[in-house]
Amino acid sequence: MVGTEHLTMRREGATLVLTLNRPEAKNALSLPMLVGLYDGWVEADEDDAVRSIVVTGAGGAFCAGMDLKALAGDKGMVGQEYRDRLKADPDLHWKAMLRHHRPRKPVLAAVEGYCVAGGTEILQGTDIRVAGESATFGLFEVKRGLFPIGGSTVRLQRQIPRTHALEMLLTGRPYSAREAVGVGLIGHVVPDGTALTKALEIAEKINACGPLAVEAVKASVYETAEMTEADGLAAELKRGWPIFDTDDAKEGARAFAEKRQPDYKRS
């Protein structure tokens, strides 16, 4: 676990915590942050000891989106020394923002403060979302004459009712945490300063479950989302039946019968 100057990685048990770490800019996106995020997703998926991921922000903010000051200037984004990584993989920044990259481990977002523009777009790539009561959400791009090209015109209408999605996209106005939970953008509102604690509590519950089962369930939910019911049910059987033949499934049954915690081995 290495991280970058704008993205830190640390382990909390079986959870990998990725922290957007540019608080002086409300964690506005930078090349070091994007590279660090992408490396974090890869690290989590390649390490069998990691069973969940929590992404959060330092300094009381989640992410204020793209660094517009740098974008407007002639120096480009902070961290140009990472340009070779982007040159080698032109999609790296999109993968970092979870636009068309889905980690196989569950991803939880712990939001405090601003989670706007690119921050709200990253949020849409996460699976479970917790926010402090003073958190602010929104897609501000149209107010700056820009387009929310991180996936929001496609994903948002699939995650919340279309009328709310269009209002958020077309007005560029801020949404409170209470509004966000009301339309279904987030799942939990908690006292300020406790979003990470709550996300880690949820992650710990996930970590206690069979990892092969957890990953198969997540994969099934996403791959069947746009299928017909008949096709989805067929795909679910194809994904789910092999889980019953795993050693972990047998261990789960034994642990239940013996009234103890299961010891899953990913086998």
Residue 121 among the catalytic residues: yes
Q: What is the DSSP letter of 29?
A: B
Which is catalytic among the residues 141, 179, 204, 229? 141
Tokens (6 digits) for 162:
């279309």
Which is catalytic among the residues 12, 121, 226, 236? 121
Name the 3-class secondary structure at 252: helix
* Helix axes 247-257 and 211-223, enclosed angle (nearest 10): 120
Residue 141 among the catalytic residues: yes
Give dist(CA 103, CA 240) in Å, integer: 19
Strands 128-132 and 107-111: parallel
Q: Which amino acid is at 90?
A: P
Give dist(CA 228, CA 233) in Å, integer: 9
HEC secondary structure over 57-119: ECCCCCECCECHHHHHCCCCCCCHHHHHHHHHCCCHHHHHCCCCCCCCCCEEEEECCEEECHH
Residues acting as catalytic residues: 121, 141
